[in-house]
Amino acid sequence: MFLCRSDVFLGAGILLLSVFASCEEAGPSAISGRYYSGEFLRIPYFIDVVGDSTDYQAEIDSILREVAQACDLNDPASILSRFNRFERTDSAFVFFDSTAMFGAIYGLGSDFHHRTGGIYDPTLNPIRDAWRERKEKGWEKGEPDLDALFKYTLFDGAKIDLNERTSEDGYSYTGSEMRKADPRIVLDFTKLAGAYAMDRLAGFLEVKGITQWRLTYGKSTIIRGAWADSLNVVSLGITGDTTDQRIRLQSGAFSYQTIADKASMIDPSYGYPPNSSELVYVGVVAPSLAEAAVYSEAFMIMGLQDATKWYEENTETRIESFMLIQRGDEITSASTVGFDQLIIVPDSVQITAAQ
């Protein structure tokens, strides 16, 4: 159930006049420990570690390299790049997933496709590219040939399938094979793979027994630790300045989408960008960054009504969310109870809630 409110943000109406800015860029922490930074799948990451000065850069690089070898579309040698180039429909694309990274990411993608009612779909690049081409050429009227494009999109077992083979005893992995029903089918797990890689890094830090750290990846954050506000207070990324709303997150992951991100999204139910959705901001807190990244985009595509219905059908979920809704000149907000409990409320702001 969402709590709806119209006065969480002072001067919320001015948001109509500005472009949503990204959250503050993470920088080196003043607290002793270790600081790491780099780039993965063309998105910067930053890790603040407290209480452990051991250099784990080699292990971090190894985890990221394994995920990239599975799903980096900028690497022609990655498993996913090779599959996308595979044009046979009468035989399978055969490969050995030595790190099990590809199988894990593919499995997550399949699970999210089911859990979001098909909203998460890694096959939509042809439709996304068709809309982008029309915009670049100035074709503002009409639509691409969506009926033709839908013939080789949709992430289901009839069009695309992964089979991980095992030995006769059923215990030893011997290889993988993937089939596609149409040679034009391509997959893009880039966003999911990036989030999954960060979750793997989070798991690594936990195994090392580190109790306070913060990982920032683009517009997403994973946090463990309760005592250092410099690490566990997160800006929502709405205004991009000191007036921005914040949450205090001691454990979990946070990711958000803004109105500017809609242009790169596709609603798979009818093949259009989700321009009809009245949502202009969605922030999600979840146990994993993969969940936070997928659901922040899925809810933006769904819109408030369908997102509310999703919550009604998933009452035991640990996915918490905050949304801004624009109707005409008015901006209101809606949030789950769990997210509401994380919000840091300035003393001067009074919150009223209605079911």
Question: 279 - beta bridge partners?
Answer: 325
Distance CA 307, CA 295 (A): 10
Contact 184, 28 (CB under 8 A): no
Cα–chain center distance at 186: 19
Buried b / exposed e across 220-231, counting CB within 10 Å, b at 16+? bbbbbbeebeeb
Alpha-carbon distances of 234 from 87, 125, 292, 302, 339, rounded to whole Å: 45, 32, 14, 25, 13
Contact 48, 31 (CB under 8 A): yes
Place of tokens 């989070």: 202
Confidence of residue 96 (pLDDT cuts 50, 70, 90): very high
Residue 137 has pLDDT above 70, yes or no: yes
Distance CA 143, CA 271 (A): 9
Buried b / exposed e across 40-53, counting CB within 10 Å, b at 16+? bbeeebbbbbbebe
Instruction: Give pLDDT, residue 353.
Output: 34
Q: Which two tokens stand for residue 153?
A: 């999109």
Confidence of residue 138 (pLDDT cuts 50, 70, 90): confident
Distance CA 108, CA 21 (A): 30
Residue 132's Cβ-side half-sphere holds a number of Cα atoms within 13 Å equal to 11
Distance CA 246, CA 37 (A): 23
Task: Summarize pLDDT for 271-301 with one digit per residue, the tens.
Answer: 999 887 799 999 999 999 999 999 999 999 9
Could you report how far apart the first and last alpha carbons of the chain are, in Å? 8
Instruction: Please give the average per-residue pLDDT across 152-165, as a whole number.
Output: 92
Instruction: Kindly calculate the radius of gyration of the chain based on its CA atoms and give it in whole angstroms.
Output: 21
Beta-carbon neighbour count of residue 188 at 10 Å?
18
Residues of the chain with pLDDT > 70, as a percent, come to 88
Q: Classify strands 251-258 and 220-224 as parallel, antiparallel or unpaired.
A: antiparallel
Share the mean pLDDT of the chain.
88
Confidence of residue 349 (pLDDT cuts 50, 70, 90): very low
pTM of the shown model: 0.87
Residue 354 has pLDDT above 50, yes or no: no
Confidence of residue 95 (pLDDT cuts 50, 70, 90): very high
Distance CA 68, CA 192 (A): 12
Residue type for 251, please? S
Q: Which domains does the chain have, with CATH numbers?
A: 2-56+211-344 (3.10.520.10), 61-190 (3.10.520.10)
Distance CA 190, CA 193 (A): 5
Instruction: Give pLDDT, residue 346.
Output: 63
Backbone angles phi, psi at 168, to 5 degrees: -60, -30
Q: Which two tokens stand for residue 331?
A: 């901006």
